Amino acid sequence: MRAVIQRVAQASVTVDGELISEISNGLLVLLGIEEADGEEDIVWLSKKIVNLRIFNDAEGIMNQSLLQQDGELIVVSQFTLHAATKKGNRPSYLKAAKPDTAIPLYERFIAQIEKDLGKKVGAGVFGADMKVALLNDGPVTIQIDTKNKE
């Protein structure tokens, strides 16, 4: 799994003009799933995200996690995170999981992060043409790949 995690002052997801998810202070997680991903990736990534110390403490130092901030979270599926661009100018998405694999993993990831965070999270609509709006706070943007644990 690959994740792009953005600390946001606000974020929202709209599909066909309908607001699907909206948060204020928290994290927007763009999640790419590949065929080789499984339960171990889900558990590791969820725990890593909710415990990342990327929120400012009282002294203005990034020293607090989403859990400590009682922040909100939106997860958006994004197969393009697995784009291969080495050859030519048209990205290849061969590493991205097909929907029959990706959808159950996406849903399982959302359930796991809700468990780890202790509350409901927002989500996009898998496979939909989504409009994702965000106000990046900082800006703070972190990339994580579960295959190399960084």
Encode pLDDT of 83-118 as tens digits.
Answer: 889 888 999 898 899 999 999 999 999 999 999 999
Q: What is the pLDDT, as a whole number, of residue 149? A: 80
Encode pLDDT of 47-65 as tens digits.
Answer: 999 999 999 999 999 999 9
Annotated catalytic sites, by residue? Answer: 80
pLDDT grade for 136, boundaries at 50, 70 and 90:
very high
Residues in Cβ contact with 18 at an 8 Å cutoff, skipping those fewer than 6 apart: none
Residues in Cβ contact with 108 at an 8 Å cutoff, skipping those fewer than 6 apart: 39, 42
Both tokens assigned to 21 = 């998810």
Decide if 53 is inside a domain.
Answer: yes
Decide if 97 is inside a domain.
Answer: yes
Share of the chain above pLDDT 90, in %: 91
CA atoms of 1 and 73, how far apart (whole Å): 18
Residues facing residue 144 across a β-bridge: 3
Per-residue pLDDT, averaged over 27-36, amounts to 96
Least confident of 59-63, 68-72, 79-83, 118-122: 79-83
Share of the chain above pLDDT 70, in %: 99
Decide if 70 is inside a domain.
Answer: yes
Indicate the number of domains in the chain: 1
**Please, how many CA atoms are within 13 Å of residue 113, restricted to the half-sphere of its CB?**
30
Decide if 133 is inside a domain.
Answer: yes
Decide if 150 is inside a domain.
Answer: no
| pLDDT at position 150 over 80 | no
Q: What is the pLDDT, as a whole number, of residue 46? A: 98
Decide if 137 is inside a domain.
Answer: yes
CA atoms of 43 and 14, how far apart (whole Å): 28
pLDDT grade for 143, boundaries at 50, 70 and 90:
very high
Could you list the residue range(s) of the whole structural domain that residue 61 is in? 2-145
Residues facing residue 26 across a β-bridge: 8, 72
Amino acid making up residue 61: I
Q: What is the pLDDT, as a whole number, of residue 94? A: 86
Q: What is the pLDDT, as a whole number, of residue 109? A: 98
Q: Please name the helix (run of DSSP H) or strand (run of DSSP E) that holds residue 79, with its range, or none.
A: none
Amino acid making up residue 43: V
CATH for 134 = 3.50.80.10
Decide if 108 is inside a domain.
Answer: yes
Residues facing residue 28 across a β-bridge: 6, 74
Q: What is the pLDDT, as a whole number, of residue 22? A: 98
DSSP code string of 2-71: EEEEEEEEEEEEEETTEEEEEESSEEEEEEE-BTT--HHHHHHHHHHHHH---EE-TTS-EEE-HHHHT-
| pLDDT at position 4 over 90 | yes
The owner of tokens 């599909």 is: 15
